[in-house]
Structure 1
Amino acid sequence: MLRLYDTQTREVRDFVPLEEGKVGLYVCGLTVQSEPHVGHVRSAVNFDVLQRWLRYRGYDVTFIRNTTDIDDKILVKAAEEGRPWYNLAYAMKRELDKAYAELNVAPPTYEPAATGHIPEMLELIIRLVQKGHAYPAEDGSGDVYFDVRSWPAYGELTHQRIDDMEAAEDADPRGKRDPRDFALWKGWKKESEPETAAWPSPWGPGRPGWHIECSAMAGKYLGTAFDIHGGGVDLRFPHHENEQAQSRAAGHRFASYWMHNAWITTAGEKMSKSLGNSLLIPEVLKRVRGIELRYYLVAAHYRSHVEFSFDALEEAAAGFRRIENFLERAGTTERGEIPEPFAAAMDDDLGTPAAVAVLYDAVREGNRQLAAGEDATGTATTVRAMLDVLGLDPADPAWPSSGGADTKLTEAVDALVKGLLERREEARKAKDFAAADTIRDQIKAAGIEVEDTPTGPKWSLS
């Protein structure tokens, strides 16, 4: 049985969906204010693996990953760049989509944007006001706040007492009853915000607060109760704590399980835009391929912090190329059965490190079979099956082509090496072993390894 770590209960629990055979999964997507970096895509990759494994286990998965396309940070950055906020959000969303595609992150069932769901947010806010859990500010700002003192369970997700929490810094505190109260609706600031960033509401023009967005979108697409809510560990507080409080205060059961992936750090600090140590995806993909970056991210457990370094990334890339080399030599694109040790590792809270160890054992066995002149097809199909549920099968057509000059260069090198190998084979048939060895040495000096296999010579970059 699949078992998952629930952040709220702090234990690994048997996964029992609300409806047999079906899973509702909601993951907080990104605020599209800037280009995505490695820390951003880790969450997407981790939850992509989760939804792939759920589907492999036979579940019908409805996977929602939202986009926050209106936010304080978007407005500030757009103003700094002298462009409309919606232009910035659209452009950054395109960059994000491109990054996801480069790492074979499958599209969710739906990908709602915050600006497309203002009516649902207003409906939820009105419900909270009517139930006495929210109030309009009395300072004339047009803000509406959630009253944290009105909800005794506030803090249950992160196991905190209200009095120990820091003040919510999402709005001017003058209109709040308690500094911890958080904004559900933000009144339009005519002097500093564009008119396009305001929607009509019972409290005057304005826009939604961050937290209400996800509650409204999760409710629209998954209903008032669903199975799993995920996101980065940095979202646990205040974002997810506030989501749960406002949703349950409105009478919704909300999420049964909470899952959070850990950070990617650089120099011991969370990788983020504000630290200035971001590693943008296009820059990283100049050094490794998308499939290699994904392998690096998948090989670590989703709840483990990863200290990013290019040395570690390139070591992982070299390890993945060894897997690819075996598959090329074995010569099959078919997918077989998942071995039980791999399945057991994945069922244990998505234990990808143990699963990758099973994968490597299979590759070693396959290489032994090839070296002994045995048929390694069966092993190769098993390896492909394991790679497939991790989103790492090189034969998956979803992987983008490298395209352009890189493709032409690869094709040219392949043609040249094959030509040399043909000359070497002719020399061997003529028993001119000196000439054959000379050609092999020339190929090796160019950084290319040649291996003689039962199906003929195979080459790879050393």
Structure 2
Amino acid sequence: MLQIYNTLSKDKVPFEPIDAGKIRMYVCGITVYDFCHIGHARVMVSFDVITRYLRARGWDLTYVRNITDVDDKIIKRAAENGETPETLTSRMIEAMHEDEIRLSVLRPDMEPRATAHIDDILALVQTLIEKGFAYAASNGDVYYRVEKFEGYGKLTRQNIDELRSGSRVNVEEAKESPLDFVLWKAAKPGEVSWESPWGPGRPGWHIECSAMSKCCLGDTFDIHGGGPDLPFPHHENEIAQSEAANGVQYVNTWMHAGPVRVNSEKMSKSLGNFFTIRDVLEKYDAEVVRYFLASVHYRSYIDYSEDSLKEARSALERFYQALGSVECADAEPDNDFEARFFAAMDDDFNTPKALAVLFELVSELNRAVREGSLEAGKLAAQLKRLGGIIGLLQQSPDVFLKGEDRAGELSAEQIEALILQRKDARSNRDFALSDKIRDDLAAQGVILKDDRSGTSWYREG
């Protein structure tokens, strides 16, 4: 049985969907004011693996991931660039989709944008006002009354008294309490805005997800996911808004991906260790990056470093070298690798444990190839299929191992010419030249492999 760690209950429990055989999942997406960074990639890949696995196990999954396309950061960046917020967000959304395609991240079933749900947001705010959980302030903003909601803080174990004592409110603020948060923001001159019963304005960040998830998945749904920075206050505020308005539990299972660190330090622009997905993909094969992100359990922090990416490359090389040694067969092998792989993934999507099973499968495949066993083709197909559930091993081995020609490196044509020159040298028993060609290629990251069928090669690292 599938077990998932629930951030709300703080334990790993058997997963039971609201509707048998069906899962409704909402994941907080990107605020599209800049290119996506490696932390965004962590969340994208984590929930993509979860999506692929749930579907591989036969669940009917509806996956929703929103886009925040109106926000203070968006307005500020658009003004700095001298462009409209709409132009900026359209450009960043397109770039986000390009990054996802390269990382083999599947598009969600629904990708609602905040600006397309203004009517839903207004209706939700109005409901909260009518129920006494929100109020229109003198400055044109609408705020949520945090202290009226009895369950506030239950996701992150926050104590309302401690929150109150640690908060302060400026004299000019129109809040009733320093804990209250904004649902609707009065527009400043020149800002993008929509008409509302409380004057022109735009939605606060937290209300967007409550409105979009309700619209797409209903008042209560199975799984809500997001990044490590979202449990407080964003998800606490979503719970408060949705449960106060709808009168039912908002989400049954809460899931959060862990943070990305860079050489064991927190990633930040001020430290100069901030990397966009595009920065990373300029240096590393996209599948190497995906493997790296999937190689650590989704809830744990992951340390981005040159060594970590090299280890990911080496691991994939081992998989692809095994796959390149034999043709895949259609028949299923008689072994327990699949059952053990599924058992690992059923344990809160434990990808490190699942990958360990695949490494054992590689060893078995290599043994079958050495022995000339008919099982080799079956094992290769099994490895490719199980790897595909994590979004890996779907390239041709030749394409991955040889890679694309890159500036400053030997081209495939040059390498093949040197291999032919080495073959001639060996035929002439000029082993010194043969060895020199091999060593020279190795020094440039090109590894040769001799077998009965001839010489093959791949790029290392």
TM-score by length of 1: 0.89
- Note the C-alpha offset of 1:458: 2.7
C-alpha distance in 2 between matches for 1:288 and 1:358: 25
Q: Percent identity?
A: 40
Which residue identity is paired with 1:185? W
Whether contact under 8 Å (1:329, 1:458) holds in the other structure is no
> Which residue does 1:359 correspond to in 2?
358
DSSP 3-state at the match of 1:394:
coil
> Which residue does 1:90 correspond to in 2?
90
Whether contact under 8 Å (2:22, 2:61) holds in the other structure is yes
C-alpha distance in 2 between matches for 1:171 and 1:291: 50
- Note the C-alpha offset of 1:206: 0.1
Instruction: Encode CA deviations 1:3-26: one digit per residue, 9 max, x unaligned.
Output: 000001000011111111111010
> Which residue does 1:289 correspond to in 2?
285
> Which residue does 2:368 correspond to in 1?
369
1:229-248 correspondence runs (5 A): 229-248=224-243
User: Over aligned residue pairs, what C-alpha RMSD do you find?
Assistant: 3.0
> Which residue does 1:25 correspond to in 2?
25
Instruction: Encode CA deviations 1:9-54: one digit per residue, 9 max, x unaligned.
Output: 0000111111111110100001011111111110010000001110
C-alpha distance in 1 between matches for 2:170 and 2:386: 48
- Note the C-alpha offset of 1:360: 1.1
* Structure 2: tracts of 5 or more residues without a match: none
> Which residue does 1:259 correspond to in 2?
255
Which residue identity is paired with 1:32? V
- Note the C-alpha offset of 1:267: 5.2
C-alpha distance in 2 between matches for 1:108 and 1:335: 32
Instruction: Encode CA deviations 1:138-188: one digit per residue, 9 max, x unaligned.
Output: x2x211011011111111111111122277899997211111111110011
> Which residue does 2:106 correspond to in 1?
106
C-alpha distance in 2 between matches for 1:427 and 1:300: 46
Instruction: Encode CA deviations 1:72-92: one digit per residue, 9 max, x unaligned.
Output: 111122222222222222222
Whether contact under 8 Å (2:17, 2:222) holds in the other structure is yes
Which residue identity is paired with 1:442? I
DSSP 3-state at the match of 1:26:
strand
1:302 aligns with 2:302: no
C-alpha distance in 2 between matches for 1:171 and 1:200: 27
Compare 164-173 and 60-69 and name the one that shifted more.
164-173
Compare 356-365 and 161-170 and name the one that shifted more.
161-170
Which residue identity is paired with 2:289? L
> Which residue does 2:449 correspond to in 1?
451
DSSP 3-state at the match of 2:325:
helix
> Which residue does 1:189 correspond to in 2?
188
> Which residue does 2:208 correspond to in 1?
213
Q: For the structure 1 residues 303 and 316, does the alpha-carbon distance in structure 2 shift closer, same or farther, using more than 3 Å as the test?
A: same
Whether contact under 8 Å (1:39, 1:272) holds in the other structure is no
C-alpha distance in 1 between matches for 2:265 and 2:168: 22
C-alpha distance in 2 between matches for 1:335 and 1:31: 46
TM-score by length of 2: 0.89
Whether contact under 8 Å (1:373, 1:454) holds in the other structure is no
Whether contact under 8 Å (1:333, 1:384) holds in the other structure is no
> Which residue does 2:151 correspond to in 1?
153
Compare 148-157 and 316-325 and name the one that shifted more.
316-325
> Which residue does 2:339 correspond to in 1?
340
Whether contact under 8 Å (1:70, 1:114) holds in the other structure is yes
- Note the C-alpha offset of 1:332: 3.1
> Which residue does 1:142 correspond to in 2?
140
Which residue identity is paired with 1:181? D
> Which residue does 2:309 correspond to in 1?
313
C-alpha distance in 2 between matches for 1:269 and 1:420: 43
C-alpha distance in 1 between matches for 2:105 and 2:384: 18
> Which residue does 2:178 correspond to in 1?
179
Whether contact under 8 Å (2:258, 2:300) holds in the other structure is yes
* Structure 1: tracts of 5 or more residues without a match: none
- Note the C-alpha offset of 1:336: 5.7
- Note the C-alpha offset of 1:418: 4.7
- Note the C-alpha offset of 1:450: 3.0
Which residue identity is paired with 1:69? D
- Note the C-alpha offset of 1:422: 6.0
Whether contact under 8 Å (1:157, 1:241) holds in the other structure is yes
- Note the C-alpha offset of 1:266: 2.5
Whether contact under 8 Å (1:333, 1:395) holds in the other structure is no
- Note the C-alpha offset of 1:270: 3.5
Whether contact under 8 Å (1:127, 1:250) holds in the other structure is yes
Q: For the structure 1 residues 459 and 373, does the alpha-carbon distance in structure 2 shift closer, same or farther, using more than 3 Å as the test?
A: farther
Compare 337-346 and 203-212 and name the one that shifted more.
337-346
